[in-house]
Structure 1
Amino acid sequence: MDFPHLLALVRRGDELAWEAFVRQFQSRVFGLAYHYTAQAEDARDLTQDVFVRIYQNLALVPDAEGCLPWIIRITRNACIDHLRRRKARPPLWDLPADEMFDLRSSDQNPEEAHLEAVRKGMVHRALQELTDLNREIILLKEIQGLSLEEIAAILEVPVGTVKSRSNRARLELAQKLSAAGLCSADVGG
């Protein structure tokens, strides 16, 4: 089923269409929330909150072309609100349970899984060291795959600013990864 037709069914209240809609976007919403929060449990909660907000505002869902940027804007705003609340009331401890016990099965051998986890950890730490705007641009452009125009609309800045910031952000990330001993060839994937 093509997306415009799915969106029309969602707007009419079709439960199966809503389920397909959520499945289509949930990994992107979760991934973005995880990059903002660095906590899988918080990202899961935020993902659920985002879809509740979308469901409550189905009449406001834009056409098929504008849907993804709209969802990302909602996710970004939910994450920023969450981070503000977390700063106002810090958690009791900062050790997430999913990092203490990784019970997921893997098809990789233990050495490959370990190396991949180390690489991902280094990239994640390097992303956290970027300025807020540079981190957001990397997340939206490189990870979420949005266009420069969509990013400009979400961040409410001119496209030229996004272009120049995107180049600076990529250079800053490359420098952080290089300093950490992870070359850009290791990052792909």
Structure 2
Amino acid sequence: MKKIKISAIIFLFLGLSGCGELRYSEISPEAKNVHPRQIVLLPADVTAFPEAKGSVDRLFAEVLAERQWFTRISGGENTAAQLQKDEELRKAVSEYLVKLAKVKFSDPVLSSRIGVLTGAEAFLINRVDSWNYTVEDDKKLAKVGLSITMVEAKTGQILWNAAHNRVSDYLIVQPDLANMARGLIREMTDRMPH
């Protein structure tokens, strides 16, 4: 009987210790030596969930500003405006993202060019993985999922990758997805190197 109680306590402890972790988080060993002061957020990839456009960019910039880790933060909306005006930056970002997506290669030449053109020491690539209301097994759910990649501009070194999501059930009043995203971004950036 005593062994069963001890086993139950250990099982409970191990189960609870997993709570609060991100779905995925990987920090590069080199990240401990990199402390960027100026950071740029590329416009969030909202291809699958266009209704999140603008909200995610604004929320990332606001949460990072709250942290006071960086001397300059250029949000996704500002970067989008810069991309509209600057053909060289638009080409560098486009080529960089294609290489990263297609062959998983963080091109140091292109990342360095992005850093020079934006004045950033690091940049964040954000993607919206889910942003919707749905019904599963007769339960109404609100879902927000995000992925973040932090890249050192000078070297192209991927310092940090993270992905996480939040799901909230509701009966009548739908939870605000932007508020859910704000909490999710705070939780994720708690683990971001700086």
Structure whose residues are more often helix by fraction: 1
TM range (shorter): under 0.3
TM-score (norm 2): 0.24
Which structure would you say has the larger Rg? 2
